[in-house]
Amino acid sequence: MQRIFLAGAVLIYIAGLVYFTSFFSVPKNHTSRPATPIRTATGEDKPGEKLVPAGQREDELSFPAGVPVLMYHKIGPEKNNDAVISPERFREHMTYLYEQNYRPISLDELYAYLNHGAGLPPKPVVITFDDGYRDTYEIALPLLKRYKFKSVLFIPGMEVGKSFTRDELLDMKASGMEVAAHGQTHRPLAKLSPREQEEEISRVKESLDSVLEQDTRYFCYPYGSYDQNTMEILQKKGFRLAFTMQPGWVQPGDNPLALHRIWVGNSIDLRRLEERLTRENYSRI
C-alpha cells in the first residue's frame, strides 16, 4: 500500500514538472517562416500573374491614353528665368495635384505601363527634377514627403557627392524620390563622339549604382540632346527609358528612349497646369 502511494506521488510530481516547464518553453517555430505564406489577391501564386502594387486596389487600376511627365528644374526666387519656379508656385502645383487626387507614379510603374500595358492608379503623373539643385532636397522633398508623392531626380554623375552627400541621396531615395542618370558632366550628348558618349553614360551609371546600391535603368538627356548612337549605348547598358525635352505626354507605342516631358516653370499657373495634365495637345507656349 505504501509502495502504491509512493508511485502515485512520483507520477503526480512528474506530471506537474512537465506542465510547469511547458510555460517556459520556446515555440518550435520561433525562428522559422510563418505557417501561412503571404498570398496575392487571388490567394494563389500563379506564374506570370501581374501583381498589384502595394496600397493600390485592383478596382482602382486605370489604362490611360497617356501619362504626363512634369519637368521641374530649379525652385527659387529668381525672376525672368522660366527654368526657375518660385517656391510659392511650386507649392501651389503640389497642393493642386494632391487636392485633385493625382497619383504620382514611379518610373518602374511607367515602364510596366509602356512595356506590357500594366494598369496604373487613376490620374497618374510623373514628377521629375533635373540637374540636382539644393532646392530639390531642401524645398521640394519636404513637400513631396508630406503628400507621400513619388518623384524622380535626374542628376549628372559629377554632382553625386557634390550637390548632395551620399546620405542625402539615400534619404531622397528612402523618401520616394528615385535617383536616375543625367549624363556625367551635363554635356549635350549629340555633340560628342560615340566613345565620349559611352564614357558619359557609363560613368554616371557606375557612380549611381555604387553610391545608391542600385541598378540605374532610367536616363534623361542633358539639354534634350541625343542621337542614334546615344540610344544604342543606352540600350547596351540596360537602360529602359530615357527622357527628352520634347513637349507632350508619354503614350503607349512611343520610343522608350525618346519620351516626352511637360515643361513647367513660373509661367505655368494652375489653369495651364490643369490643361497640361488633361489634354495631350495642350497649348505649347
Buried b (16+ CB within 10 A) or exposed e, 111-145: bbbbeeebbbbebbbbbbbbbbbebbbebbbebbe
Out of 130, 135, 159, 200, the only residue in the binding site for Zn ion (CB under 5 A) is 130
- The conformation of residue 56, written as its DSSP 8-state character, comes to -
> Which residues inside 244-273 make contact with Zn ion, applying CB under 5 A?
none
- Is residue 168 a contact partner of residue 137, using CB atoms and an 8 Å limit? yes
- From 28-36, 128-136, 163-171, 200-208, give the range in contact with Zn ion by CB under 5 A: 128-136
- From 58-66, 93-101, 220-228, 252-260, give the range in contact with Zn ion by CB under 5 A: 220-228
Out of 205, 222, 243, 277, the only residue in the binding site for Zn ion (CB under 5 A) is 222
Q: For residue 29, with 0-12 CB atoms within 10 Å meaning exposed, 13-18 middle and 19 or more buried, which class applies?
A: exposed
Rounded to whole angstroms, how far apart are CA atoms 104 and 16? 62
Rounded to whole angstroms, how far apart are CA atoms 69 and 126? 5
Helix count (H) and strand count (E) of the chain?
A: 9, 10
Out of 75, 127, 131, 216, the only residue in the binding site for Zn ion (CB under 5 A) is 131
Closest CB 130 distance from Zn ion, rounded Å: 4
Query: How many residues bind to Zn ion according to rule CB under 5 A?
Result: 3
Residue appearing with cell numbers 542625402? 168
Say whether residue 200 binds Zn ion (CB under 5 A): no
Q: Which is nearer to Zn ion, 69 or 118 (CB)?
A: 69
- From 62-70, 130-138, 172-180, 248-256, give the range in contact with Zn ion by CB under 5 A: 130-138
- From 129-137, 141-149, 171-179, 209-217, give the range in contact with Zn ion by CB under 5 A: 129-137
Say whether residue 109 binds Zn ion (CB under 5 A): no
Question: Of 248, 263, 197, 267, nearest to 225 (Cα)?
Answer: 197
Q: Which is nearer to Zn ion, 123 or 205 (CB)?
A: 205
What is the contact surface with Zn ion in residues (CB under 5 A)? Answer: 130-131, 222
